[in-house]
Amino acid sequence: ILGYDAGAFPASYEAWRARVHPEDIARVESTLREAADARRDWRGAYRIVHPDGAVRWVEGRGRYVYDADGTPVFMHGTIDDVTAQHETEDALRAREAELRAINDSLEARVRERAAVAEERAEQLRQLALDIAATEARERRRIAQLLHD
């Protein structure tokens, strides 16, 4: 998981730290210190960098072992590769953002079309009023012609 050859991992803090992504190391070490100070288990996700430059996401879990004075002596735990899960979550977030943009676009189009429909409905109402007024004028004209 850390990019060492099988059986070649020098189980040390320095060997682990050498693989943690430079942008993540301060955060991870801070949460490790907090867990040690609070005497609680640690769990966190962070990136590691393999010697070939490949970046992988891992989730570490660990528990400190303390000496008689309460000083942490070492930590034991596990590291799981969660790159596929992280990539899936990233893809879902990207798709969600894309769908949100599409939805916003559709809502804008619906608002535009509703405004056009209202404008046309108003035009139809006005035409209906004009037709009714024209009919009334024609009836009066025809009635006047018949009367004369």
90 phi/psi in degrees, rounded to 5: -60, -45
d(CA 69, CA 57): 35
Give the length of the chain.
Answer: 148
Q: Which two tokens stand for residue 70?
A: 């309460």
Q: What is the band of 55 on the pLDDT scale with cuts at 50, 70, 90? A: very high
Give the tens place of pLDDT for each residue, 78-119: 999 999 999 999 999 999 999 999 999 999 999 999 999 999
Residue 148 pLDDT > 90: no
CB–CB of 23/41 below 8 Å?
Answer: no
d(CA 61, CA 57): 14
pLDDT of residue 5: 79
Which has the closest alpha carbon to 41: 84, 20, 72? 72
pTM: 0.66
pLDDT of residue 81: 95
